[in-house]
Chain A
Amino acid sequence: DAMVIQNPRYQVTQFGKPVTLSCSQTLNHNVMYWYQQKSSQAPKLLFHYYDKDFNNEADTPDNFQSRRPNTSFCFLDIRSPGLGDAAMYLCATVTVGRGRIAEAFFGQGTRLTVV
């Protein structure tokens, strides 16, 4: 069974129209990441939550916001999508604990198209 679920798998949005991508996990992991991956490039970290603590990457545009209402869910909000925001968005979860190896699990991704 999928442990990190992203919805939707494919999202088409209009230029400038707010869009929300969702990620849910059944692993009870305390860390959740959002990555942006453009074609043939490595994923780029946008931000991550360590429990409720939000950590934004310095070069993440203000256009990108995130919410984590509880351990299981995390949302990526793009306030005004531009053509350059078309990409695959990946959610990953990690569990961090004393002496444990932090395995990361990825969702299947949401492919965002901006028209």
Chain B
Amino acid sequence: KNQVEQSPQSLIILEGKNCTLQCNYTVSPFSNLRWYKQDTGRGPVSLTIMTFSENTKSNGRYTATLDADTKQSSLHITASQLSDSASYICVVSASKAAGNKLTFGGGTRVLVKP
């Protein structure tokens, strides 16, 4: 069964500090992995998308890594800001042959405190 597991479930950090979120997946056949930011009551917004051949991708203060061999990804937030408070969702897409299905992780809820 395709699964995406994220850790930790929630995280509290002080403004200006860094943090790293983890994502492990068993989706096969793998097509790509995405990280989304979801503010409360709003739809997810894409941060990064990576295929199996990409090890790292950055979007401003967000840097995602991917190890397709171990099926692990991380999202690193640098110099956190209050506006980074949100849920961060790891989503893995199966290949076209498997219907391009998106499998969602449970998300990590990040709270940035001043």
Q: Report how far A50 CA is from B99 CA in the complex, Å.
A: 9
Most B CB within 10 A of own CB, among A31, A43, A44? A43
Interface size on B, residues (CB 8 A): 25
**A71-100 interface code vs B (CB 8 A; 1 in, 0 out):** 000000000000000001010101010000
B18-66 residues with Cβ-Cβ distance < 8 A to A are 31-32, 34, 36, 41-46, 49, 51
Docked pose: A45 CA to B104 CA in angstroms: 9
Indicate if the CB atoms of A111 and B41 lie closer than 8 Å: yes
Quick check: A102 and B45 within 8 Å, CB to CB? no
* Total contacting residues, chain A, CB less than 8 A: 27
Tell me, yes or no, whether A58 is within 8 Å of chain B by CB.
Answer: no
Q: Is B75 an interface residue (CB 8 A)?
A: no
Q: Give the residue name and chain of the A residue nearest to B93 (CB).
A: A102
Q: Decide if A104 touches B34 in the complex (CB within 8 Å).
A: yes
Contacts of A94 in B (CB 8 A): 100, 102
- B contact patch SS: strand
A108 part of interface (Cβ distance < 8 Å): yes
Contacts of A4 in B (CB 8 A): 43
A103 touches B43 (CB 8 A): no
> Majority SS of interface residues in chain A?
strand
Q: Taking the complex as formed, is B96 at the interface, i.e. its CB lies under 8 A from any CB of chain A?
A: yes
Structural contact, B99 and A55, CB atoms closer than 8 A? yes
Q: Do A41 and B46 touch (CB < 8 A)?
A: no
In the complex, what's the smallest C-beta–C-beta distance from B21 to chain A, in angstroms?
A: 14
A102 touches B32 (CB 8 A): yes
Residues of A within 8 A of B (CB): 4, 6, 31, 33, 40-45, 50, 55, 88, 90, 92, 94, 96, 101-109, 111
Q: List 28 A-B contacts (CB under 8 A).
A: A4-B43, A31-B100, A33-B102, A42-B89, A42-B105, A43-B89, A43-B104, A44-B104, A45-B101, A45-B102, A50-B100, A90-B43, A90-B44, A92-B102, A96-B96, A96-B100, A101-B49, A102-B32, A102-B100, A104-B46, A104-B93, A104-B102, A106-B43, A106-B44, A108-B43, A109-B42, A109-B43, A111-B41
